[in-house]
Structure 1
């Protein structure tokens, strides 16, 4: 059966090569689109790694040409923390979750390196405010004031990259990679490991992260400060006004804006969904065009082979047999096109392209393969039924 189908396909190779090319390129495009959507879907269901609900972001800025002494800033934060409805408060760097601000670095431990690490400044209350989950070691504490190296907390994926399967990493030294040949690299001492976090958005993956301790009561004079506040459920505009008035009561030269992290998340989500929606429209348009193209080619193919169909019917072939022949030819052609596409698609996980997990590529291949076979089967079904209805006398008379 298959040998006969291959012979029929080979006898019409000039016509079938165009159809084979269409199937191949359609598979490649569908594989790309499917991989993107599967990757985003996989990221969406991953744990966020922190609790952003009921957390507000405060942007405190000194007046024009002014700076805020750290001691005065600490006093302001103590007064805000004492307000009814405020559960916890932490001082951090400006790259708070869901914002379009990133601070990245490259770090090394021994011979291992990792780049594009999200780096954050954080005080001793950051974990309690943001709901980070420690899996090893501890968070920052006052005893770290005596540390000779700046204490740091790393995420689990950063731990795996730098230390592999080491049973314990607390106390290990991480150095900042400032370029080849650079001496006196900044060193950090690991005191804890957290679960992986996804701070950039709902569809972003787990980002290697590192939190570096803010030394309390230092002599730094800040131009602005980013503060995260965890509030009790049900708090709203009234508490926001109290926070703004409390900070203004210390010095009129400071300005404060209050934003909810949930609002930041939704703003980031709107910007992320727009290109995804456009990609979905392009993918749907591609599927429709592939279906129309296949249907048209098969319809034309049947009309060109009416004499062959009539002769086969005259020799005793049944209608279902004719229909099965056309479906079989189409599925064989689809198998050839998909096989070529799979050979190309398999290079992506082998080369670790675009830093995408191999499992995502595999699911993308399966989705593209299933969709192509479904399309070709549906498009071949109606033309094959028309071929089965052709009567031998009519087909031969036309010839």
Structure 2
């Protein structure tokens, strides 16, 4: 039966060339779409690693007419932090770098350990960061003032970097290098600071302990009043009248960040949707035209004993075999992505995308060929032979 279907399709290869090409391109587009979907879904399933509810991100840009000494700037920052912590409804305040959760800013550096090099995201925060975001420490602890000894500054790394450098070995107490020697005091659970669909990357957290800090996170209590944000703004402006202050909710920034991550996926879905619609119409038209041209053949087959189900299966089978040829070429091309490690994505992501794209195309072709196949099964032999 399969050999017969292949012979029928091969004899009409010129008529089907454009459809072959359309199916081949459709598979590649669907492969790209499903790769993005599987990749984003895999990232979404990963634990967030921190709590963002009732957290405000504050940026207070302050200019000093005469640059004070560094120690004076540190004291001004600490004084502002104490003033903010004294406001009713605030449970924690933490100084952070510009690439705090859900911002558009990024920073990375090359980290090394025993000739192993890794490009890791780099963050700066103070001692209250872990408590404010309620992060989970896998090993060791978050750094504190007591950890500042000698020239080896304390750092915290995430699980991904710990796995990369140390495997199952305990990283606490080990020395790593970036711009200098750093001593690991703890390993924190991976945090998706870039959004729910962001890839979990290697990360290192360093301690902020000096200079003027103009960016910080504020954790509100459950009973915080609606006027708390206003009081935060007034407190900052009272101490630094010349500053420009922006206050945003981390929840709102998360929504914006997630939407930006989904824009490429939505665009690909729209483009592939139009392409799939054209493919569906093309397959439906080809099968319908083939059935109408072969009414005599179908009538003869039914006259010699072919069943309605057999006719339907033949029509659908021809469409599936017609799809399999360009699909095979597309799969051969798609398999090169995991084999060559293109775009540095897990092989499982590519394999899942290939399977989903294949199943989707087969399901689409089956649906498009099913109705013409059922119509062909309703042809009366006598009428078909008389028309022929």
TM-score by length of 1: 0.89
- Aligned partner of 2:170 in structure 1 is 168
1:83 & 1:206 partners in 2: Cα distance?
Answer: 35
- Aligned partner of 1:12 in structure 2 is 12
Q: Secondary structure at the match of 1:114?
A: strand
- Aligned partner of 2:45 in structure 1 is 45
Contact 1:113 1:161 in 2 (8 A): no
Q: Secondary structure at the match of 2:190?
A: coil
Q: Does 1:72 align with 2:72?
A: no
2:257 & 2:168 partners in 1: Cα distance?
Answer: 37
Q: Does 1:158 align with 2:161?
A: yes
2:267 & 2:76 partners in 1: Cα distance?
Answer: 49
Q: Secondary structure at the match of 2:148?
A: helix
**CA displacement at 1:396 relative to structure 2:** 4.1
- Aligned partner of 2:90 in structure 1 is 86
Task: From the superposition, tell whether residues 188 and 259 of structure 1 become closer, same or farther in structure 2 (CA, over 3 Å).
Answer: same
Task: From the superposition, tell whether residues 307 and 192 of structure 1 become closer, same or farther in structure 2 (CA, over 3 Å).
Answer: same
CA RMSD of the aligned region, Å? 2.2
Flag structure 1 segments of 5+ consecutive residues without an equivalent: 177-184
**CA displacement at 1:67 relative to structure 2:** 4.8
Contact 2:312 2:373 in 1 (8 A): yes
Task: From the superposition, tell whether residues 239 and 269 of structure 1 become closer, same or farther in structure 2 (CA, over 3 Å).
Answer: same
Contact 1:319 1:388 in 2 (8 A): yes
2:339 & 2:364 partners in 1: Cα distance?
Answer: 28
**CA displacement at 1:85 relative to structure 2:** 1.3
Match of 2:265 among 240, 258, 276: 276
Q: Does 1:351 align with 2:355?
A: no
| C-alpha distance after superposition, 1:216-253 (max 9, x if no partner) | xx4x3x3x511111110242541122222223333433
Contact 2:33 2:265 in 1 (8 A): no
Q: Secondary structure at the match of 1:107?
A: strand
Match of 1:377 among 361, 366, 371: 366
- Aligned partner of 1:181 in structure 2 is none
TM-score by length of 2: 0.91
Task: From the superposition, tell whether residues 353 and 66 of structure 1 become closer, same or farther in structure 2 (CA, over 3 Å).
Answer: farther
- Aligned partner of 1:263 in structure 2 is 252
The alignment covers a number of residue pairs equal to 384
**CA displacement at 1:120 relative to structure 2:** 0.9
Contact 1:63 1:255 in 2 (8 A): no
